[in-house]
Structure 1
Amino acid sequence: MSFNGSAGGSQSSRMAYEFGRTHVVRPKGQHQATIVWLHGLGDKGSSWSQLLESLPLPNVRTDMDFLSLIKWICPTAPTRPVSLFGGFPCTAWFDAQDISDDVSDDMQGLDASAAHVANLLLTEPADIKIGVGGFSMGAATALYSATCHVSRQYGNGQPYLINLSTIIGLSGWLPCSRTLRNRMEASNETTRRAASLPILLCHGTGDDVVAYKHGQKSACALNSAGFQNIMFRKYEGLGHYTIPEEMDEVCRWLSVTLGLQGS
């Protein structure tokens, strides 16, 4: 489950939170890529690590032997009060109030989670292609990481040192869409990085948690800001969950965009 926004100046956004356990699904073949995968609001890393461990999923026609080449890192968000739930604590990558341009984004929470993701990737070998993906609030955090990669800095101005090769967002949205264009106007290098970063966005028309229109609007905002390599996949009737066909799409996307070899 996931929403966005946040009381940017709320007490919760000024506090530091401890991230939970990280689960790793190690490659069964030659390690060629590492993807950090981020769960949704109230979930934990183990839920997705179990799903990713089972890929390729049964009853889906695929030649996904290359999945054995991917290492999946599934961290767990801090437990923090969430404005959406009246301050009730649950696992969340940042404080969530609503999905709307009318609310302030929890920049401190977004920066902290993006930095945590970056730190998980810092020790990966230089020849390994790396990316960030996620579901719902995890997708929002992945897209925020994309903006940090492109601008080479976090929202607080600190340098972002990770070179991402791909971004995946399922049933999510783009935080900080109001300020994205300003961040993108920094330099020609920023424009070049944005244009070349492959992004896959998937969203169901039946999503009653993060409405389809938010996913569609996010794709348009990214594109208008200079992210030109975006694939937006629409799933008729799909609610706020994933299905085997969608994960099959994710796997095929990774195979092509990362150029995985040896399957």
Structure 2
Amino acid sequence: MSFNRSYGGGQTSRMTSVFGRTHVVRPKGTHQATIVWLHGLGDKGSSWSQLLETLPLPNIKWICPTAPTRPVSLFGGFPSTAWFDAVDVSEDAPDDLDGLDASAAHVANLLSTEPADIKLGIGGFSMGAAAALYSATCHILGQYSNRNPYTVNLSCVVGLSGWLPCSRTLRGRMAASNETVTRAASLPILLCHGSGDEVVPHKFGEKSADFLRSSGFGNLTFKSYDGLGHYTIPEEMDEVCSWLTDKLRLQGS
């Protein structure tokens, strides 16, 4: 199944985020985990909820929000659903910290009302994967870039065809606390990327994985798919299912 394109980078956004409709896939079995799944640029939550509902993961509740519709610099200011503003797909592109913080806070708010015994996770595709990885760094650091506390305890993070925002400042911020390093070492992360991706090049996903590992994220798996473009395939989703079942210790999947 193919999904809309998504890009990285972005300018600083000062807008108020108004998020779209949230779609929820209820667990068919015993509720053991809840995962917020974030779509790519120009897409909406319903696209992924339809796919996630077909996965053999009866113990997971999926929450699929829709990003705000905002002007996107990459499109010359044309409005599109986006988790943050995007100027270019480049390591040198500026990060839209306000947009990233707003999206991470929205995801944390969606997870904050889940039962205390439920394991929590975040996943996404392309720009959604970037937003998910940014949320992971907020969890590890215990705060957003604006210094507000991040209080949700994540058990897993999944990113398909994405990249890591704010990599230029992450390592220095993590080095300030031993507790941060300990949390990073134990957080399971799965990153998947196609070698034929012309929208978010494979090297971006590979560099993101290498950077996270070198920063202390020791429980990270990176999977490459030969010839895969900027979309997902059943083999990739099978890997996601197996990985989640193992890392979250799901029963009955």
TM-score by structure 1 length? 0.93
- Separation of aligned partners in 2, 1:183 and 1:247: 33
| Mapped contact 2:17–2:102 kept (Cα < 8 A) | no
- Separation of aligned partners in 1, 2:87 and 2:188: 29
- Separation of aligned partners in 1, 2:55 and 2:190: 18
- Separation of aligned partners in 1, 2:89 and 2:212: 16
Which residue does the alignment assign to 1:114?
104
Which residue does the alignment assign to 1:205?
195
Q: Residue 94 of structure 1 aligns to which amino acid in structure 2? A: F
Counterpart of 1:6 (choices 10, 23, 46) is 10
- Separation of aligned partners in 1, 2:180 and 2:17: 31
- Separation of aligned partners in 2, 1:138 and 1:2: 8
Which residue does the alignment assign to 2:177?
187
Q: 1:140 Cα shift?
A: 0.1
- Separation of aligned partners in 2, 1:172 and 1:102: 16
Where do residues 23-62 of structure 1 align in structure 2 (5 Å cutoff)? 23-56=23-56
Q: 1:99 Cα shift?
A: 2.3
Runs of 5+ unmatched residues, structure 2: none
Where do residues 1-263 of structure 1 align in structure 2 (5 Å cutoff)? 1-8=5-12, 13-56=13-56, 67-263=57-253
Q: Taking every aligned residue pair, what percent have the same amino acid on both sides?
A: 76
Q: 1:111 Cα shift?
A: 0.1
Runs of 5+ unmatched residues, structure 1: 57-66
Q: Residue 93 of structure 1 aligns to which amino acid in structure 2? A: W
Which residue does the alignment assign to 1:62?
none
Q: 1:103 Cα shift?
A: 2.0
RMSD: 0.8
| Mapped contact 1:151–1:186 kept (Cα < 8 A) | no
Q: 1:186 Cα shift?
A: 2.2
Q: Residue 225 of structure 1 aligns to which amino acid in structure 2? A: S
Aligned with 1:234: secondary structure? strand
| Mapped contact 2:58–2:252 kept (Cα < 8 A) | no
Q: Encode CA deviations 1:36-79: one digit per residue, 9 max, x unaligned.
A: 000000000000000111224xxxxxxxxxx1110000000000
Q: How many residue pairs get matched?
A: 249
Q: 1:261 Cα shift?
A: 1.8
Q: 1:101 Cα shift?
A: 2.7
- Separation of aligned partners in 2, 1:27 and 1:55: 11
Q: Residue 99 of structure 2 aligns to which amino acid in structure 1? A: G
Aligned with 1:168: secondary structure? strand
TM-score by structure 2 length? 0.97
